[in-house]
Amino acid sequence: MCGIAGAISFTEDMREDMKIYEKMQTALIRRGPDQRGIVLTKEAAMIHTRLAVIDISGGRQPMTFGRFTIVYNGELYNTDEIRKELCDEFEFTTHSDTEVVLKSFAKWGEDCVEHFNGIFAFAVYDSERHRAFFARDRIGVKPFFYCLKSDKLIFASELSALLEHPEVPHEIDSTGAAELLLISPARTAGCGVIRGVDELKSGCCAVYDADGLHIREYWRLKAYELNETFEQTAEHVRELVLDSIRRQLVSDVPVCTFLSGGLDSSIISAVAAAEMKKLGKVLDTFSVDYKDNDRYFKASHFQPNSDPEYIRCMAEFLGTNHHWTVIDTGELVDALDDAVEARGLPGMADVDASMLIFCREIKKSGTVAISGECADELFGGYPWYRDEDIRMTDGFPWAQSTAYRSRFLCDEYAHKIDADDYVYSAYRRTADHAMKLSTDSGTDSRMREMTELNFYWFMQNLLERKDRMSMYSGLEVRVPFCDYRLAEYLYNVKWEYKDHQGREKGLLREAMKEWLPEKVLWRKKSPYPKTHNPAFLEAVTEKLRNVLDTKTPLTELVKREELEKLLMHGENVQWYGQLMNLPQTIAYFIQLDYWLKRFKIRLV
């Protein structure tokens, strides 16, 4: 895993701007602390920072083969198969997947992406054809931002690196304001929030040449007829899940797992522990908790029980070397700013900050971790899949707070933005994008829409959080449930099967029942843990009050009177599903203030 950046121009000499590219590279150094490289030609600047995981000595970048130069961020899980396919035509001098990607492009051109199973974002410059090719993985695990000027394309893994280029404006307009106050911490697919900045969407690739930028979608969730019994479906799921986890255990450095005691991380840990045992090794597992959470925890519909009991059960069941990270309130508040540095935007407040602290602790013991994100989106694990009233609500099920959010928009932007239309149109575009069959039942038709909404919105936000917080800590995190083969297959599994025994992720439970103890196998879903300590609300309230006592750009975007009301704690409206309530909303505005100041953002 790495950081990539660069610029392509067919009218300017890229070799004259070395200092700019060094600044962009420095902004990415946390993503790749082990090695760094820059290749400059007249038309292209190719920038790389490397976190060495596979072929530590041989995988240096930028990597050149003939007329092609690549900068690549990611991991291929079918590297060996592709290398064997190419061996008759090419000689390989390293064991790195970078060389496989590069020579795949030399062989298949733009169609190389069709051959890859992995998470990636990369750029290839072709010096003979005077063009550049960009691609992002099918699921969108790895980021790729860009700014297209009249005669230049500038790109980077992260917004912070892009903003180091003097031609990228540090500005937000009404679209950026709408994203920050009506949509965030999610983002509209393809939107970079900063004026003039876009993101290559998941499952897309592009060519940039003298005629401009040409983007195409090479993958999406497609509907097809699936005629399998429940037993066949469970067997198919089991094979896919096991194959995905095992592929993602390949590494030249030690691998560990996140373990929350929930279904998804427990399955991954169980398979990983079994594979480690074959090698005579013991798996390291990691969990996060909060100081005094046992004292303040209160069961709710979304979080019916706390994790520690189930974590201990799994760690003992698997015989892992288990590590706890316990976060105190002050530490959590202090990490809010670092979480903005990592994401490049304000995000999920303490949910981001705690992940950042957690990843820092894991990094002390290893470089590669495996996590259970995305099973809920694909298997229908969230409450909004299962509650028929919420499921049929015409709008984002996790974001029913547009009226509340719009109150915070300052008058200048409120007059320019139709809040309801902005949010509803984004919802409708995604729901209408869902591919369906004429034979779908009413329930299955809506479930395709729900999958599409979760896949391209809720899941993308969680993946962005995991990528930025982990990579900021120099930690690579892999997500086996994001295997595109699993996503393609599950999109076409009927809801009746996913809802096996009337339980969330019932199909996954049945498919993997031999891997877990009953207590964990049938545990009711519980989300990522957050602090329940009232000291957090007190601390963020005081911190936002201090912000409002100074000159702050925050009140140029957000109504001061609404922030003052927020600090009175009179309302507890969900800002973003169960993940962000009153304390997190206050913390979000602290992050927004920090972001505006840190990146010197101008409002236009």
Contact between 132 and 5 under an 8 Å Cβ cutoff? The reply is no
Specify the DSSP class assigned to residue 141.
Answer: -
| pLDDT at 297 (0 to 100) | 58
Please tell me the predicted confidence (pLDDT) of residue 33: 81
pLDDT of 537: 96
Give me the helix-helix angle, 329-343 and 582-598, nearest 10°: 50
pLDDT digits (tens, 9 = 90+) for 433-445: 999 999 999 999 9
Q: Is the pLDDT of residue 547 over 70?
A: yes
Q: Which amino acid is at 178?
A: A
pLDDT value at residue 399: 86
The whole-number pLDDT of residue 391 equals 86
Examine residue 517 and say whether the peptide bond preceding it is cis (omega within 30 degrees of 0).
no
SS3 221: coil
The gap from C-alpha 587 to its chain's centroid, in whole angstroms, comes to: 21
**What would the pLDDT profile of 442-483 be if each residue is shown by its tens digit?**
999 999 999 999 999 999 999 999 999 999 999 999 999 999
Per-residue confidence (pLDDT) for residue 254, from 0 to 100 = 87
- Identify the pLDDT of residue 545: 98
> 3-state DSSP call for residue 577?
coil
Q: Angle at Cα 183 formed by Cα 181 and Cα 186, nearest 5°?
A: 125
Q: Is the pLDDT confidence value at 553 over 70?
A: yes
DSSP string spanning 89-126? T-------HHHHHHHHHHHHGGGGGGG--EEEEEEEEE
Closest CA to 97 of 33, 1, 218: 1
CA distance linking residue 144 with residue 296, whole number of Å: 41
Residue 50 confidence (pLDDT): 86
Mean pLDDT confidence for 381-391:
88
pLDDT in the model for residue 507 = 98
When comparing pLDDT for 298 and 194, which is higher?
194
Residue 333 pLDDT class (50, 70, 90 cuts): very high
Nearest to 54 by CA among 76, 33, 83: 76
The DSSP code for 369 is E
Helix%, strand%, coil% for the chain, nearest 5: 45, 20, 35
Q: What is the mean pLDDT of residues 586-592?
A: 98
pLDDT digits (tens, 9 = 90+) for 390-410: 888 889 988 889 999 999 999
In this predicted structure, what is the pLDDT of residue 252? 81
CA atoms in the 13 A half-sphere facing the CB of 281: 11
Average pLDDT over residues 239-254: 93
> Does the pLDDT value for residue 27 go beyond 80?
yes
Three-state SS for 473-484 is: CCCEEECHHHCH
Look at residue 55 in the predicted model and tell me its pLDDT. 64
- Give the Cα-Cα-Cα angle 491, 189, 73 (nearest 5 degrees): 90
225 HSE (CA, 13 A, CB side): 3
Residue 240 token pair: 């896919």
User: How high is the pLDDT of residue 299?
Assistant: 55
Count helices and strands in the chain by DSSP H and E runs: 27, 19
C-alpha to C-alpha distance for 573 and 515, rounded to whole angstroms: 39
Mean pLDDT across the stretch 138-158?
A: 96
Distance between CA 267 and CA 512 in Å, rounded?
Answer: 7
Residue 388 — pLDDT band, cuts 50, 70, 90?
A: confident
CA 522/CA 512 separation, integer angstroms:
11
Query: To the nearest whole percent, how much of the chain has pLDDT over 70?
Result: 97
pLDDT of residue 597: 98
Q: How many CA atoms lie within 13 A of 201 on its CB side?
A: 17
Q: How far apart are CA 144 and CA 141, in angstroms?
A: 10
Contacts of 113 by beta carbon, 8 Å cutoff, 6+ apart: 135, 205, 218, 219
Mean pLDDT of the chain: 94
CB atoms within 10 A of CB 101: 26
HSE, side-chain direction, 13 A CA sphere, residue 154: 24
pLDDT of 602 strictly over 70: yes
The listed range with the strongest mean pLDDT (301-315, 388-402, 481-495) is 481-495
The model's pLDDT over 71-94, given as tens digits with 9 standing for 90+, comes to: 999 999 999 999 999 999 999 999
Q: How confident is the model at residue 305 (pLDDT cuts 50, 70, 90)?
A: low
Helix, coil or strand: residue 46: strand
pLDDT of amino acid 491 = 98
- 313 assigned to active site: no
Mean per-residue pLDDT for 353-366?
Answer: 94
Which amino acid is present at 188?
Answer: T
